Structures are given as C-alpha cells and as structure tokens.
Amino acid sequence: MFTWTASICARNWGGEYENVAILVAIAVNEDGYREVLGAAEGMKEDKASWLSFFQWLKGRGLEGVKLVVGDKSLGMLEAVYEVFPDAKYQRCTVHFYRNIFSVVPRSKGKLVAKMLKAIHAQESKAAALAKAKDMVAALKDLKLKEAAKKVEDSVEETLTYMAFPFEHWTRLRTNNAIERLNRETRRRTRVVGAFPDGNSALMLVCARLRHVAGTQWGNKKYMNMKHLEATVDDDSLAG
C-alpha cells in the first residue's frame, strides 16, 4: 500500500515566481512500517507529472502495490493505473467529507456529517452502499441536490478499504499516514517563502522527509501485516 501527496512551493522561473508541486509517496512495507518511497518535482499535478513519478518509483524497484490512498486527482489516477494496473484505489474519506461539506450550508453540516460517518461505520461494503443510498435520498429531500450527486457518484471509491482486513480499516481509509510529513514540509517551505529553483525546494523537502522518517514516525510499526497475509492466503485457497 502507498499513499501520496503534493506539496506546493514557489520557485523562480525566468525571473518570475510560480507554484510547482513536490510529489511525495510513502508506503507501508511488508513488515508493517512506514517508509518514504521518494519525492520529485512535479511542475503540475497532471498526468504527465504523476506518470513520470510512478515510473521512476517502479524503476527503482517498487512492486507489490496493493492499494493507493489519496485525494481525488484524475491525473494521478490515470497514471497509477498505467504503472500499477493491479493496485486498487482508496479515496481519502476526510477529503471526501470536505468535498461534500463544500456544497452544504453550515446549518446542515452536523446532520450531513452524521450521515457520512454512518456510511463508513458499516461492517460491510454492501451495508455501506445501502446506507449511502439512504443518504442520497435524504439529501434530495433536504434540497441538497449537489451534495446528493457527489455522494452518489463518488462514495464507492471511499469504500475500497473494506476489501482488506478489518483490523486495517482505520489505517487505510484516509491518507492520515502522510499528514505528519505534510505538516513538516509546509512548515519549512513557508518559512523560506520562495526558492531560487525547483531543485533547492526539492532538497529542503527531502531533508525534512529523511528527518521525520528517522523518528518514531518510521520506527514504530504502523500495521500488523499478518492480517493481510491471512487474507491473501484465504484468497489463494478460494481461487
């Protein structure tokens, strides 16, 4: 499994400053520990940038990717399926919730949040989809048609984690695993403000990644992979 992010930095380009993306990917390895897979300047968060990044990771030996966790980025999704066609995609539920709240009046926020949490509190994908169907109907009754459409169109991609061991669900349904890194890189890059070139920004980000990876973040076991091994064994026997 791996999760990705894109940090935005300002750099000098022909005498003008523009924002560029630093693409970062982390993984939970076969022993259950988090590790940084790599970082690269992406210019834009488009398919070409992600494709180059993923091909670079694969060329360095990345294999066995079971799940990709991240926000909804069409460029990333198109690229990852080209490079890792067997991987499944899990949309971060936190970002999904924020996307729904963006079209919901504040007065209805708590009610909508309760309905969303009920979906992801279910013990099976079938039950979660049934709960989502009820939510769509309820949102339409509340005249929240745009929110209803967002749930109807996208909720299933937030439920991919349910195909994995129950013990891993809370770890897999968000990209919280990378948030510590995000905070560190943003804190450092904001202090600098603007970089003379993309390479200097990348060097600073990589330095912070190495620092955090050497702390408890990378030294403490994040997931018990025996649960996943048991699931793989069961699938093999079923096949």
Q: Which of 14-23, 40-49, 197-206 shows the lowest per-residue confidence on average (mean pLDDT)?
A: 14-23
Mean pLDDT of 58-68: 92
pLDDT, residue 3, reads 67
Mean pLDDT of 16-32: 82
Q: What phi and psi values does residue 100 have, to the nearest 5 degrees?
A: -70, -45
Q: How confident is the model at residue 123 (pLDDT cuts 50, 70, 90)?
A: very high
Angstrom distance (rounded) from CA 196 to CA 54? 26
What single-letter amino acid sits at 93? T
pLDDT at 47: 87
Q: Which pTM value belongs to this model?
A: 0.84
Apex CA 185: angle with CA 180 and CA 188, to 5°?
Answer: 125
What DSSP state is assigned to residue 85? T
Does the structure show a pLDDT above 80 at 1? no
Considering the chain, what is the average pLDDT of its residues?
86
> What are the backbone angles phi and psi of residue 2, rounded to the nearest 5°?
-145, 155
Would you place residue 71 in the very low, low, confident or very high pLDDT band (cuts 50, 70, 90)?
Answer: confident
Check if the beta carbon of residue 68 is closer than 8 Å to that of residue 90. yes
51 vs 81: CA distance, rounded Å? 9
Looking at per-residue confidence, does 88 or 180 come out higher?
Answer: 88
Residue 129 three-state SS? helix
Residue 236 has a pLDDT of 37
Q: Among candidates 129, 125, 126, 175, which has minimal Cα distance to 151? A: 129
Nearest C-alpha neighbor of 41 from the set 174, 203, 184: 203
Contact between 109 and 97 (Cβ < 8 Å) = no
- pLDDT band with cut points at 50, 70 and 90 for residue 72: confident
- Partners of 9 in the β-ladder: 20
Q: Which of 20, 23, 46, 5 is nearest to 197 (CA)?
A: 20
CA distance 100 to 169: 21
Residues 6 or more apart in contact with residue 133 via CB below 8 angstroms: none
Instruction: Identify whether the C-beta of residue 124 lies closer than 8 Å to the C-beta of residue 155.
Output: no
Q: Which of 90, 66, 61, 64 is nearest to 77 (CA)?
A: 90
Provide the pLDDT confidence category of residue 238 given band limits of 50, 70 and 90.
very low
Maximum distance among all Cα pairs of the chain, rounded to whole angstroms: 62
Q: What is the pLDDT of residue 148?
A: 98
Question: How buried is 72 (Cβ within 10 angstroms: 0-12 exposed, 13-18 middle, 19+ buried)?
Answer: middle
pLDDT at residue number 6: 59
